[in-house]
Amino acid sequence: VKPAPFEYLRAADVADAVSALAEAAGDGKILAGGQSLVPMLALRLARPTVLVDINGISGLAALTPTGDAVEVGALVRHRRLAEQHEHPLLAEAARWIGHTAIRTRGTVAGSLAHADPSAELPVVALATDATATAVGPRGTRTVPAEELFLAPLMTSLSEQELITAVRFRRPTRWGFAEFARRHGDFALVVAVVAEIDGAVRLALGGVGPVPRRTAAAEAVLAAGGRASVAADAAAAEIDPTADLHGSVAFRRALTAEMVRRALAAAGID
Ligand SMILES: Cc1cc2nc3c(=O)[nH]c(=O)nc-3n(C[C@H](O)[C@H](O)[C@H](O)COP(=O)(O)OP(=O)(O)OC[C@H]3O[C@@H](n4cnc5c(N)ncnc54)[C@H](O)[C@@H]3O)c2cc1C
């Protein structure tokens, strides 16, 4: 299948991109790495009339440590994330995304804006209390990761907003665990542990329509409970559905195991 016809605009700067999106009145789409959008265009699952290419905008590809956080520009590619040393949790998560070709093009902001329920970076964003900077016709706002993901492939961003950067807090302890059937496949379950401001946060992907934190498991850990108890609490707390990959029981068992591994990697038993 070929994409439906669209107009292609190469934005010179952020203001240019925002005004092009505003002019498209809901029918425009940002083109970043194209690793999710282009397949959707080809399958006609997305039919924008205007594509606003942001790859030529300078200043969106910086990775800047800022004290307790790292600010990652919208156009930072997964590959760069995987190779940096400022935020080892982000580096580890990025290494699990697809294959080299995908990591070379795909961007951090594209991953968050695409909001795939099994994607790694949205789970890291939740675990590290990340915030996205979004610019739209009404100005700039800060969107906490907790408020970003609404449904599969749906965020709280308006169709006229552009993420320019994402600020990920740096955890004092962290752990990452993922299970996929084959190397490079989307995850069946992702578990991310991050200690931020002395509290252990636990976020999961692949266990429902959106990535989520696990209040019951976090409460177990805050009360000094064992990792195995927290893992069981996380598995009980999620509400997965059966799919072609396995039953609800399988997904719960996998979740408990991934949480156990992520906690062990963080040095929490
Ligand atoms: C074979 C294959 C395997 C993959 N495996 C994985 C995997 O294991 N894990 C994983 O997480 N991902 C995986 N991906 C997807 C990949 O990570 C994409 O890079 C990512 O989902 C989207 O980033 P992108 O820069 O390519 O965005 P694009 O495809 O360009 O855009 C995706 C969506 O985000 C919007 N968007 C892009 N940038 C912005 C912005 N700055 N502000 C607002 N909206 C924006 C676009 O309009 C579009 O709706 C895979 C892709 C392929 C093709």
As a whole number of angstroms, the distance between CA 29 and CA 244 comes to 31
In sequence order, what are the residues at sequence separation of 6 or more whose Cβ sits closer than 8 angstroms to the Cβ of residue 258? 177, 178, 179, 189, 190, 191, 204
Q: Is the pLDDT of residue 122 over 90?
A: yes
At 183 the pLDDT is 85
Q: Is the pLDDT of residue 196 over 90?
A: yes
**Quick check: CB of 30 below 6 Å from ligand 1?**
yes
**Quick check: CB of 166 below 6 Å from ligand 1?**
no
Does pTM top 0.85 for this prediction? yes
Terminal Cα distance for the chain, rounded: 51
At 184 the pLDDT is 86
Question: How sure is the predictor about 225, in pLDDT bands with cuts at 50, 70 and 90?
Answer: very high
Mean pLDDT taken over the chain: 96
Q: Is 43 exposed, middle or buried (0-12, 13-18, 19+ CB in 10 A)?
A: exposed
Q: Which atom of ligand 1 is nearest to the CA of 161?
A: 43
Is 154 in contact with 210 (CB distance < 8 Å)?
A: no
Q: Which atom of ligand 1 is nearest to the CA of 134?
A: 42
At 1 the pLDDT is 73
Token pair listed for 245: 């990959």
Separation of 108 CA from ligand 1 center, angstroms?
A: 8
Separation of 107 CA from ligand 1 center, angstroms?
A: 7
**Quick check: CB of 97 below 6 Å from ligand 1?**
yes
**Quick check: CB of 74 below 6 Å from ligand 1?**
yes
Nearest CA to ligand 1 atom 28: 34
As a whole number of angstroms, the distance between CA 119 and CA 125 comes to 11
Separation of 113 CA from ligand 1 center, angstroms?
A: 8
Separation of 77 CA from ligand 1 center, angstroms?
A: 10
Nearest CA to ligand 1 atom 4: 98
Token pair listed for 260: 């156990």
Q: Which atom of ligand 1 is nearest to the CA of 46?
A: 49
At 265 the pLDDT is 98
Please give the helix or strand (H or E) that residue 73 lies within, else none: strand 69-73
Q: Is the pLDDT of residue 256 over 80?
A: yes
Neighbours of 150 (CB within 10 A): 13
- Summarize pLDDT for 135-158 with one digit per residue, the tens: 999 999 999 999 999 999 999 999
Q: Which atom of ligand 1 is nearest to the CA of 180?
A: 8
In sequence order, what are the residues at sequence separation of 6 or more whose Cβ sits closer than 8 angstroms to the Cβ of residue 241? 248
Separation of 33 CA from ligand 1 center, angstroms?
A: 7
Q: Is the pLDDT of residue 9 over 80?
A: yes
SS3 label, residue 257: helix
Ligand 1 probe mutation, 36, 57, 159, most atoms within 8 A of CB: 36
- Summarize pLDDT for 74-115 with one digit per residue, the tens: 999 999 999 999 999 999 999 999 999 999 999 999 999 999
